[in-house]
Amino acid sequence: MRDSVLLEAPAKVNLYLEVGAKRRDGYHAVRTVMQAVELCDLVGVELAGRGGVIALEVEGEAPRGEDNLCHRAAAAFLEATGLRRSVRIRLVKRIPVAAGLGGGSSDAAAVLRGLNFLAGEVLGSRELLELAASLGMDVPFFLVGGTAMGEGRGERVSPLAQAPPLPLVLANPGTPLSTAEVYRRYDAAGGGEPPRGGAEAMGEALRAGDARRVASLLFNSLQPAACSLVPAVGALLEHALWAGARGALVSGSGPTVFALVSDQGEAEELEKEMGRHAPLVVRTSFRSAGVGLA
């Protein structure tokens, strides 16, 4: 049996994010269509000797120690399974933090997948999803990957027909945004009216591979709040549309903006243009579901 594994932990974008009323537990009800993209962190997971010690090595910009979701995921797995082994994790961080791309959640999901694989699949898919949900609302999505619908707080995930590998460009203004602060601003000001057909219409457009229709249905209730907190976000949206993107949207609570284009040639041109306005620009594409072994 193997004692180590290396996994890819992909970023995601929210093609559709409709935020509802605040629930009794303090969270907001959401309906979201999430799409994994090819931009990835790398997560190495190793089961070592006995003792329950968790060691985390980070390359790049990310929290260290117990503040990192990777550490919390490993601790939760050991507690849930009663596995009395030590764990070594090596994280190579490529996805910017606090960017609306789900990097930390994806890293945590990779740790759960890796440990479950190394331990002989001791947790079934339902148990693993429940454990993921205890760590954060985006973590279950990264166990599913590809194209999926998220409901509840986002933790109830249903796979959708996988979208084709449409190209897109990510642009980040270099200013982290607090999710809690974005939601507070949303509660104060609202977030606009969602398009007709909502999340279901987006799912149908993705299934058909209709890039024009997908672009027309992009929606994020949190976008006005993100733009008001970081005006550079609104400027990036305008630059992307001016430069010819089919559509542009803030991902999650921001501040990363993604722009959809028709082909790789347009993506290359848009990448160059957006590089004039943002410190971090990445050309990537939609990613289908998969285990993500590197």
Stretch 8-20: mean pLDDT: 95
Looking at the predicted structure, is the pLDDT value of residue 222 above 90?
Answer: yes
Q: What's the pLDDT score for residue 7?
A: 97
Looking at the predicted structure, is the pLDDT value of residue 39 above 60?
Answer: yes
Looking at the predicted structure, is the pLDDT value of residue 273 above 90?
Answer: yes
Class of domain 167-285: alpha beta
Task: Judge contact between 147 and 206, C-beta under 8 A.
Answer: yes
Q: How far apart are CA 112 and CA 277, in angstroms?
A: 37
Q: Where in the chain is the domain with CATH 3.30.70.890?
A: 167-285
Among candidate residues 41, 93, 107, 138, the one labeled active-site is 138
Could you tell me which residues are beta bridge partners of residue 159? 148
Tokens of 135: 């760590």
Task: Judge contact between 39 and 94, C-beta under 8 A.
Answer: yes
Class of domain 4-159: alpha beta
Stretch 257-268: mean pLDDT: 95
52 confidence band (pLDDT: 50, 70, 90): confident
Distance of CA 61 to the CA centre of its chain: 17
CA neighbor of 199 nearest in space, from 27, 29, 9? 29
Looking at the predicted structure, is the pLDDT value of residue 291 above 80?
Answer: no
Is 22 assigned a catalytic role? no
Q: How far apart are CA 158 and CA 155, in angstroms?
A: 10
Among candidate residues 12, 41, 93, 107, the one labeled active-site is 12
Number of H helices, E strands in the chain: 10, 11
Q: What's the pLDDT score for residue 290?
A: 65
CA neighbor of 223 nearest in space, from 32, 9, 38? 32
Q: How far apart are CA 18 and CA 192, in angstroms?
A: 10
Q: Which tens digit of pLDDT belongs to each residue from 130-140?
A: 999 999 989 99
Q: How far apart are CA 100 and CA 176, in angstroms?
A: 9
Q: Where in the chain is the domain with CATH 3.30.230.10?
A: 4-159
Is 138 assigned a catalytic role? yes
Q: How far apart are CA 175 and CA 188, in angstroms?
A: 22
Tokens of 52: 């329950």
